[in-house]
Structure 1
């Protein structure tokens, strides 16, 4: 396998990891990036060399910098990362469809990712409250607003400064938005394998 083919395969694996970690389908990322499903599938499977424009559109859809696709190809990662407030990436997650805004606060990649920190904003009192369920444990810290948050069969009335830690495999999500806008830190911690 030549170096170009290895790079295409590597980029495809990284894209696949990001997409699956975020619980997104090929169709969702394809639509967000304006790349046909067939072409996106070929890129993800390492069967096509993506243009820089395609990689930029995919990076925006997944909420990662374009450099994340190359970060570990031939170099070791940095030991510290500064993400400036004006360069946080807005990412697409399952709650995006009902008005939740997700900003990823760290761009770590690879199979050994230990956590994902998000700043989540809920700006309107939507009547649709999705249930979420995914891998890991979550530490949640309410910065602004007031809400009732559900985890399994229990509900928690949260005000600024309150925190909640829970198993993310159990169904969870906002039950009632009392005072909007609501902003909270949501840190997903993955089990080490």
Structure 2
């Protein structure tokens, strides 16, 4: 049967509207997932990030769960509070699965970890907009011996490779002295963290590998 050109001007069918709706919801789910994982990566609660962004905790929760269409203003506030740019947020939305990532020297996202203030710098060495998390690699620098050290405890297996300096590192009840070139692997569910900075500055790679769901 010959196609009537007038069909181009007919209202969208229900099936077409549902397809558009699914596409919109996919974008909302993607945005929510990236924001939630970025917040979790930095150890922030919904209430804390809501306060930083000037939004209500209820709205942040809805955005993270893909339940609302987010305004550009709200997105700008949330990404700014998380240390992301809008371009980083959407970078992988249409990217194929398994795409390669390149983070150039000095361009890793600086992340503030709860309990750290002076003398601790964490640079994330993967693209923060990736929403499938299998591992987290950080370049960590410490240069202030007066800083109080936090204790960390989280899922996964952690690998540390000391690049520079000397440090005493606690894992559970044991303390290990690490020097440049030493590698240390441990269960991250056991409380761990720096115990003493022996030789400054200290730089090390810390890679956490998470169990597959």
| TM value normalised by structure 2 | 0.75
| 1:111-122 map, 5 Å | 111=132, 113-122=133-142
Counterpart Cα distance in 1 of 2:126 and 2:49:
20
3-state SS of paired residue (1:85): coil
3-state SS of paired residue (1:43): helix
1:138 aligns with 2:167: no
1:187 aligns with 2:207: yes
1:107 aligns with 2:127: yes
Counterpart Cα distance in 1 of 2:80 and 2:165:
28
3-state SS of paired residue (2:106): helix
Counterpart Cα distance in 1 of 2:77 and 2:202:
29
Once the two structures are TM-superposed, the CA of residue 129 in structure 1 deviates from its matched residue by 1.7
1:16 aligns with 2:16: no
* Counterpart for residue 96 of structure 1: 116
Q: Let me know the Cα RMSD of the aligned residues.
A: 2.6
Stretches of structure 1 lacking an aligned partner (at least 5 in a row): none
Stretches of structure 2 lacking an aligned partner (at least 5 in a row): 1-17
* Counterpart for residue 86 of structure 1: 106
Number of residues of Structure 1 aligned to a counterpart in Structure 2: 192
Once the two structures are TM-superposed, the CA of residue 48 in structure 1 deviates from its matched residue by 3.8
| 1:41-80 map, 5 Å | 41-52=61-72, 54-64=74-84, 66-71=86-91, 73-77=93-97, 79-80=99-100
| Structure label with greater radius of gyration | 2
